[in-house]
């Protein structure tokens, strides 16, 4: 009898080992996220705040009533922060703590209180940087264009010095970039100004642009560890890259 039970146990172990594991079908949303569960509520809030072209989220389980989320992965394409667009962004967190689910009345009411560990990666395209500059740059700057090169950043534009007679000054900037916590700064930049008398004014205007990237207001409190310039884009990452996993999946497209 013991022998037959043992053989059945061995058979079941082998059977479940070789059977394929099927992931749960994703919850798909298009244009709007109609939510009924706390996981869907969290997903809807991220969609509203990031305004993406498309987004995926995986949770290992539904958020607990106290706002605890054990393991989460988010992949976002075309996230928008005002006029600024991110081509792609990925985020993985472990043991996140939001405010209690009972307080999740709208997107702005959901707050991250603590993250034990978080991994982040983002890619910004040269074309999106230039599009944002057209929308957000100070009116004293005109026709500014940025080029991303492996050795650094090159920018060219005109700075208008206003007065009884306004002067339009050609400015060319070559610079490296450096990461400091949640911000990206111009590093060791060289400046060409075609009006020597106004160089100090332009230098101050460039200093006023710092930092060029600021993630202080990002939904999740994460620090950037590295920066790479390649393929007409800027890649920002934490020390460890985020990795997807199988779980409860949510999928959104605009």
Please tell me whether the overall predicted TM-score, pTM, comes out greater than 0.75 for this model.
yes
Contact assessment for residue 161 and residue 141, using Cβ atoms and an 8 Å cutoff: no
209 phi, psi to nearest 5 deg: -80, -15
Given this model, what pLDDT does residue 197 score? 74
Whole-number Å distance between alpha carbons of 47 and 66: 22
| CA diameter of the chain | 104
Measured torsion, CA atoms of residues 29, 30, 33, 37, in degrees rounded to the nearest 10: -10
Q: Which residues, at least 6 apart from 55, have a Cβ–Cβ distance to it below 8 Å? A: 43, 46, 47, 74, 75, 76, 77, 79, 251, 252
Q: What is the pLDDT of residues 12-34, one digit of tens each?
A: 444 444 444 445 789 999 988 99
Please state the length of the chain.
Answer: 254
Q: What is the pLDDT of residues 196-227, one digit of tens each?
A: 777 888 888 788 878 877 777 676 777 788 88
């Amino acid at each position: 009898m013991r022998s037959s039970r043992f053989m059945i146990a061995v058979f079941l172990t082998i059977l479940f080992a070789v059977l394929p594991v099927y992931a749960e079908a994703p919850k798909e949303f298009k244009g709007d996220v109609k939510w009924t569960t706390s996981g869907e509520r969290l997903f809807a809030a991220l969609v509203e705040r990031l305004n993406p072209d498309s987004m995926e989220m995986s949770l290992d389980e539904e958020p607990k009533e106290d706002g605890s989320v054990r393991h989460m992965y988010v992949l976002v394409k075309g996230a928008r922060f005002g006029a600024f667009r991110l081509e792609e962004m990925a985020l993985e967190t472990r043991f996140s703590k939001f405010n209690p689910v009972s307080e999740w009345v709208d997107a702005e009411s959901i707050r991250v209180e603590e993250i034990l560990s978080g991994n982040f990666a983002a890619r910004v395209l040269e074309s999106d940087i230039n599009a944002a500059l057209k929308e957000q740059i100070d009116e004293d700057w005109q026709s500014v264009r940025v080029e991303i090169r492996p050795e650094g950043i090159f920018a060219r534009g005109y700075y208008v010095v206003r007065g009884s007679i306004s002067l339009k000054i050609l400015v060319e900037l070559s610079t490296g970039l450096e990461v400091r916590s949640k911000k990206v700064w111009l590093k060791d930049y060289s400046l060409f100004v075609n009006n020597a008398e106004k160089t100090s004014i332009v230098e101050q205007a460039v200093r006023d642009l710092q930092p060029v990237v600021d993630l202080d207001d990002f939904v999740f409190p994460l620090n950037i560890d590295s920066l790479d310039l390649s393929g007409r884009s800027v890649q920002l990452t934490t020390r460890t890259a985020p990795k997807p996993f199988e779980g409860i999946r949510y999928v959104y497209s605009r």
